[in-house]
Amino acid sequence: MSPARVIYFVLCLLLCVCFTQWSIAQKEDASKQIDDSLAFFQKPTDKIDFYIRLSDRFFLNNAQLSKQYAKQAIQLAKETKYQEGEIRGLLAFGYIEQFSNPSYANRLFIEAKEKAESNRHFALLYEAYYHLANFYLKWEQYEPANQYIQKQIKLVKDKNLEQVPNYGLLGGIYAKQRKTEQAIEAYHQQLQIQLARGEEKFTTGTLSEAGNAYFYIKDYEEAREYYLRGIAIGEKYRDDRSLGYLKDNVGLSFYEQKRYREALPWQAAALMHRRKLNSEHELIAGLNNISATYLALDKPDSALFFAHQSYPLAIKFGHYNFIREISEILGKAHYALKNTDSAYIFMQKAHHYQDSLKRQERERALLGALARVEAEEQKYQNSLLTQQNEQLFSFGILLALLLLVILAISFALWKQSQERRKLLMHLQELNATKDKLFAILGHDLRAPIASLVNVMEMLNTEMISPKEFLFFSSKLKEGIEHVHFTLNNLLIWANSQMQGLKTNIQNIDLQELINANINLLSTIANAKNIHISHEIPTNAYAKADKDQIDLVLRNLMSNALKFTPQHGKIHILVSAQDSFWKISVRDTGVGISPERIAKLFVQGNYFSSLGTGGEKGTGFGLWICKEMIEKNGGKIWVESQEGKGSTFTFTLPK
């Protein structure tokens, strides 16, 4: 080995030792600051949140420390039953483990998702869906990745979350499957959302991913267009992280076109941005890329310079793909420099990590199988739930039908019971009416007719002279008229009971009907010296059945004559209202008690009283009047005061 190379390697070794000492000092200072900060937190929830922030902070620089803080957050959250903190800790821990222990990372993400679902933490469920989709995308399990990102999009819409759907990740899923048009469409949706929210700074990542979609299909010119757009925005906001990966991507696009000299300045610039970040994880990729480019330019010394910086970092983070890649570069560089022993060692390491990657590939396939099993299990559970719902629905319908049948039967029985009760009441009323009818026929009608028969027999047997017969005939006339009037009411009542009242509506002259009844009853009025007067407007025409209203007037006027004493007065008043006529029959008779007024117009309550001159009645008259007036579209009522008289009033349509 030449002296120049020995000096070169010594300088590299010294540089590494100085960097290591500086890193240790930085870590000690950082550890002291963290301990001081933890002392300020009194609430466990604040301490848990701080642990999670520390885990995020150290993720790129110190994976072990990042993992330690995530574990502490989970442990404390479980002890204090802080569900939100536990879920966030699980997501942070899973994100760290996905590079070195993907199976365990998958279980952590699934556990976080299930806890978020059961506790209805929708914002954290949004994060869990994102991590699962991103995890499966990294391991090229595109179907479950797509399922989880679609779930995230649906969750945002259904729950109206403040977070926006991650169309950028959806674009990445399409891009990896070489579905470039769908990928670009998703990336454009993401760009629109970011610009609408005033987040231009964050569009650099979306533009980089959009460029990658073209990179995967080897359209490097179109890919660089998106990278350069992102670089312009990154320069505007002095975003070293974005500039690091965007410029590295530009370099890679030239590298793939074998334009190595054009790639080198972009990769060197990317490396400069990544060193500013002090991000060891991101630095590995940049060092690997520039090492590969120098090797392609046949500059193994320069390739070794950068590769030796990358190798310990790759070992530290345990990223197998980076270790295999840099080991292969180191092997080829040493071989070019005729360092066969070193070349053999690193090529062996490259082969070893290639085998590890194959194991990861098998693990990836296993993850895919597990994801498919999970999806099938979910489908089965959904199908089972659907069947259960259908069975419950069918049972509910059967139960509802059974209840309807029971209700229908109950209603039919109730209705039948009501009909029987009504029929029984009707039969009781008919029996009462029959008894009343027989009483009338047996007493009220038999007495006058028997008197007439006796007088006729006395005349035939010459027990009385013709002159004495004439004396008795005036008395018999009143009885015969009472019989005629009573029989007329009974016939009408019987007809209404058998066939119902049939009403023939026509224009009737109220004045004509009232005058006719006054003339008809004048003999009775004169016998008791009762004065009948009336007050009727001209053209008093009502729409009603003439025969029925004639009977109503006769009943009311007969009752007035019956219960008005000698030298009393009866006044009939007809007055016009808005749409009907109001007819009143007022007398100065004995009046009616309030108890009897309540029973006057009720069917079945048949009672009668002797008049002031001993006149008899059946008790049917007023009920017949009520039925007839209502059939003609009117109403009837009474106002009375005992000892002063009564006023019966009814209405008829004009």
Instruction: Delimit the domains of the chain by residue range.
Output: 42-165, 502-653
Residue by residue, what is the 3-state secondary structure of 187-253?
Answer: HHHHHHHHHHCCCHHHHHHHHHHHHHHHHHCCCHHHHHHHHHHHHHHHHHHCCHHHHHHHHHHHHHH
Please compute the mean of the pLDDT values over residues 196-209 and round it to a whole number: 93
User: How would you classify the pairing of strands 636-641 and 531-535?
Assistant: unpaired
Confidence of residue 338 (pLDDT cuts 50, 70, 90): very high
* 502-653 homologous superfamily: Histidine kinase-like ATPase, C-terminal domain (3.30.565.10)
Asked if residue 530 has pLDDT above 90, the reply is yes
In the three-class reduction of DSSP (H, G, I as helix; E, B as strand; rest coil), residue 538 is classed as coil
Nearest alpha-carbon partner for 478 in 554, 548, 585, 558: 558
In the three-class reduction of DSSP (H, G, I as helix; E, B as strand; rest coil), residue 532 is classed as strand
Residue 135 or residue 60, greater confidence: 135
Fold of domain 42-165: 1.25.40
388 exposed, middle or buried (CB, 10 Å; 0-12, 13-18, 19+)?
Answer: exposed
Residue 586, pLDDT score: 96
pLDDT digits (tens, 9 = 90+) for 405-454: 898 898 888 988 888 888 888 777 666 656 655 555 554 555 566 566 66
Please compute the mean of the pLDDT values over residues 519-537 and round it to a whole number: 91
E strand or H helix that includes residue 558: helix 546-563
pTM for the whole thing? 0.49
Burial 588-605 (b: 16+ CB within 10 A, else e): bbbbbeeeeeeebbeeee
pLDDT digits (tens, 9 = 90+) for 283-318: 999 999 999 999 999 999 999 999 999 999 998 887
User: How would you classify the pairing of strands 580-587 and 569-576?
Assistant: antiparallel
C-alpha distances in Å from residue 110, one per residue of 156, 371, 528:
19, 11, 111
The answer to which of 39-43, 110-114, 220-224, 593-597 has the lowest mean pLDDT is 39-43
Mean pLDDT (the chain) is 83
The answer to which of 1-15, 129-143, 255-269, 397-411 has the lowest mean pLDDT is 1-15
Residue 12, pLDDT score: 46
Residue 65 or residue 459, greater confidence: 65
The answer to which of 14-18, 133-137, 260-264, 357-361 has the lowest mean pLDDT is 14-18
Contact 614, 482 (CB under 8 A): no
Q: How far apart are CA 525 and CA 506, in angstroms?
A: 30
Confidence of residue 31 (pLDDT cuts 50, 70, 90): low
Asked if residue 212 has pLDDT above 70, the reply is yes
- Residue 535, strand partner residues: 573
Place of tokens 């590890």: 356
Asked if residue 166 has pLDDT above 60, the reply is yes
Contact 172, 130 (CB under 8 A): no
Contact 570, 557 (CB under 8 A): yes
Residue 436 burial (CB count, 10 A):
16
Rounded to 5 degrees, what are φ and ψ at 139? -95, 15
Contact 86, 124 (CB under 8 A): no
Residue 3 or residue 561, greater confidence: 561
